[in-house]
Structure 1
Amino acid sequence: MNVAALPLDFGNLLRSWRSERRLSQADLANVIETPSRHVSFLETGRAKPSREMVTRLATALHVPLRDRNLLLRAAGFADLYAERHMSEEEMSMLRKAVLRLMTAHDPYPAFVVDRDWTVQDANASGRMMLAPIAATFPFDDPENRPNMLDITFSPDGIRPFIVNWEDYARQAIQRIHREALGPADVRRALDRIGRHPDLPKDWWAFDVQYTLDPIFTVQLRNGDRRLNFFSVLASIAVPTAALAQELRVETLFPADQETEDILSTLGEE
């Protein structure tokens, strides 16, 4: 369900998040230790939540901090979580920590992406990896940063270099359904993917029977060489800052010795 398309009504927002987390009213009521009738009344507007109840519901539903603010506003309360930008002075320590994390990951690629999959930064190896498409997806314009979904799904991106393209695309879309921070993020991601050609529509739907590989390899063609990676996506959690929680660091690791040797040689050069 697209939260952005719903009126800013607490009952609608609560129902959307509960559906997204695949919980019944009884399930949610059991988690927050309240009668299921009360959850029903909150969703229909017959009952108004307290600030504490909004917080309990948001915690039980694992709602991201920015969206917790929306729930609070819809219930008539002020925001609780500050929305910070990475350029702010208060975020300088976080910027340094992210930079150290990426730099330490060299000679393997690492990228910082936000909740919309916009690439906020990359380490030296990540930039080198995307050098062949830098003219189409430049990193140097802060007002027009490249988006990882475009980089992956566009024919002008790395898609032609992905050997196991169909398996990778199906897995990536199912991961978006499961790992996006909220239902509106899923909709925006699928809308962006849909701009690109030659993508069968039956790939896009959430498939409850689809089994995600715990370690899924993406195989990249580099001239006559093949580089095999698996990725680890790490969220940055700062309890009181919405933006910090939304940033994620995607690190690529070599999936075989040949790839590790190639990257180590390139790193030394």
Structure 2
Amino acid sequence: MNTVSAPSEFGDLLRSWRHERRLSQGALANAIETPSRHVSFLETGRAQPSREMVTRLSTALQVPLRDRNLLLRAAGFADLYAEATLSDAEADMLRNAVLRMMTAHDPCPAFVIDRFWEVHDANASGRRLLGRIAEAFPFDPPHVTANMLDMTFSPDGIRPYIRNWTDYARQAIQRLHREALSPDDLRGALDRIAAYPELPKDWWALDVRYAHDPVFPIEMEADGRRLNFFSVIAAIATPTGALAQELRVETLFPADDATEAALKAAISGTA
């Protein structure tokens, strides 16, 4: 008599990630050098994974570190990756590192952003820029943060100041597809901005023909002055904790001499 095991929580999670990565059981099995039958057994609950197997599967599926902990818990193991918040004492080294990165880039606006595009901090120039939209999006970290997607796509945010809005917004959505750590993150981000007006329907899907430029140009106009920037994102190259993987520093560098002069004048109070 054949016995059919009930699907396990781990098996459901594994199947979900495999589907999201568009891999067959055979392709995943080849990637981790195990029989495809074993992958099938893991998904149906007929086999239980070792800690090493969970790690191999997570790596092959490019699962973010925080979500790898969920897979480990579902398989009955303890977390492998720390999940501190930026305000926790154990995050002091990381917090100091991103603070120094932001401060060093003044007078270029710089922002600390997490995997959900929440802005946790900004340098002096970044706070000055966000001060223009403070009525709609108050920003006073660490107690009051703001979401970069909302501030970018809302008509009450920085959107009215962006001269190349159509190209900028389209590139921003393509960036979401490439930078989201998980499929749920991507769906949440797209759902969040879908409520804002004047966003064409053909923007939402990943478009491989719409190449992501090496730099991300942003043309702004404020107080009758045109400012041209390019955006650079810095992240931890080999993170060992979930928070380190999820945080990044986005900096707006001047794309011309006039913008550089305007930034320096603003921070020195001579603008």
Superposition TM-score, scaled by structure 1 size: 0.89
SS in 1 for 2:146: coil
Are the counterparts in 1 of residues 216 and 232 from structure 2 also a CA contact under 8 Å? Answer: no
Deviation at 1:209? 3.5
Q: Matches of 1:80 and 1:119 in 2, distance apart? A: 26
Q: Matches of 1:12 and 1:47 in 2, distance apart? A: 13
Partner of 1:241: 241
Letter in 2 for 1:222: A
Give the RMSD, CA atoms, in angstroms.
2.1
Query: Percent same amino acid at aligned positions?
Result: 71
Partner of 1:125: 125
SS in 2 for 1:230: strand
Consecutive unaligned residues of structure 2, counting only runs of 5 or more, are 1-6
Letter in 2 for 1:204: W
Letter in 2 for 1:182: S
Q: Which has the higher contact order (CA 8 A, sep 6+)?
A: 1
* Residue 178 (structure 1) aligned with residue 190 (structure 2): no
Consecutive unaligned residues of structure 1, counting only runs of 5 or more, are 1-6
Letter in 2 for 1:255: A
Larger Rg: 2
Q: Matches of 1:14 and 1:206 in 2, distance apart? A: 24
Q: Matches of 1:266 and 1:85 in 2, distance apart? A: 33
Partner of 2:146: 146
> Which aligned runs of 4 or more in structure 1 are off by greater than 6 angstroms?
none
* Residue 266 (structure 1) aligned with residue 237 (structure 2): no
Partner of 2:164: 164
SS in 2 for 1:38: helix
Question: Between Structure 1 and Structure 2, how many residues are aligned?
Answer: 263
Partner of 1:3: none
Deviation at 1:143? 4.5
* Residue 55 (structure 1) aligned with residue 55 (structure 2): yes
Deviation at 1:141? 5.8
Deviation at 1:20? 3.5
Are the counterparts in 2 of residues 84 and 244 from structure 1 also a CA contact under 8 Å? Answer: no
Partner of 2:253: 253
* Residue 28 (structure 1) aligned with residue 28 (structure 2): yes
Question: Superposition pairs for residues 77-88 of structure 1, below 5 Å?
Answer: 77-88=77-88
Partner of 1:97: 97
SS in 1 for 2:227: strand
Deviation at 1:100? 0.8
Q: Matches of 1:68 and 1:97 in 2, distance apart? A: 25
Superposition TM-score, scaled by structure 2 size: 0.88
- Cα pair distance change 1:170/1:268, threshold 3 Å: same
